[in-house]
Amino acid sequence: MVDTADDTERRERPGPTWGDRVRFVLRGIGQTLITLGVVVLLFVVYEVYVTNWFAEHEQAQVRTALKKQWLDAVKDPLLPLPGQSAPKLPEGQGIAYLYIPRLGRDFGYAIVQGTSQADLEKGPGHYVGTALPGQRGNFAIAGHRVGKGEPFLNLDQLQAGDAVIVQTDSNWFVYRVGGTPGDISAAGLDGVPGREIVDPSDGNVLLPVPDHPDAPAKHRWMTLTTCHPKFTATQRMILHAVLAQTVRAHGLAMPAAISALYNQVRS
């Protein structure tokens, strides 16, 4: 049999060297890492941007429904008549508005009833079973910190004494963050700190007197909970505030006494 030119070329072509094999493996690893990087990047874009877009749409619907409810309602559903218990509020429905002057005049969210994932994708959620706005005990709400609307993204910027405002149909409740000047983590009223970092399983922060299981509820607390640190859910950052002022006012317009609180924010 006569060899062809192609047969001769194949016999004379050297086989892959050890270096060729190493480069082949490294190229494969590099391409795999690039693919994984693209997947992670797409996931981050979805979690941070796409979920925010959906959450903003849901929040807008809740705000619109709550405004209509207040304009049409005869009385504030959060304020039962004397001798009556508070009505059971449907989960996922707006119950109040939240404002935090330190986070700017454009910070404003409708608070929904409930803390399921579906509820929290609409906005900050009220822990069912805790007090309602202005009531004695602990009015507690949760909110996402990154993605899904991220209402509590900058909650770590709050300082001791900062105002946290809750608007209902009939009242504007002004809570003040605990702690001491210059040390928000210091124990204040009833030994409750203004801010603390806890494990996700720590339910004592939601007690009528936060962190004090046997203490009687003498004051009107508000607790904000969110994930900590940012982009993780390994711990929870907790803010505690106590009711300092109530401004009675019907309608959607912000009273002058509440608007003035924005001018009191200090760096």
* Integer Cα distance of 151 and 114 in angstroms: 15
- Active-site option among 102, 145, 236, 240: 236
* Integer Cα distance of 130 and 137 in angstroms: 7
Decide if 144 is catalytic.
yes
Decide if 10 is catalytic.
no
- Active-site option among 145, 176, 227, 240: 227
Single out the residue of 212, 244, 220, 210 nearest to residue 137, CA to CA: 220
Q: What's CA 90's distance to the chain center, in Å?
A: 20
**Quick one: DSSP state of residue 161?**
T
Single out the residue of 223, 150, 151 nearest to residue 192, CA to CA: 223
- Active-site option among 102, 126, 144, 195: 144
Decide if 236 is catalytic.
yes
* Integer Cα distance of 52 and 60 in angstroms: 12
Active site amino acids: 144, 227, 236
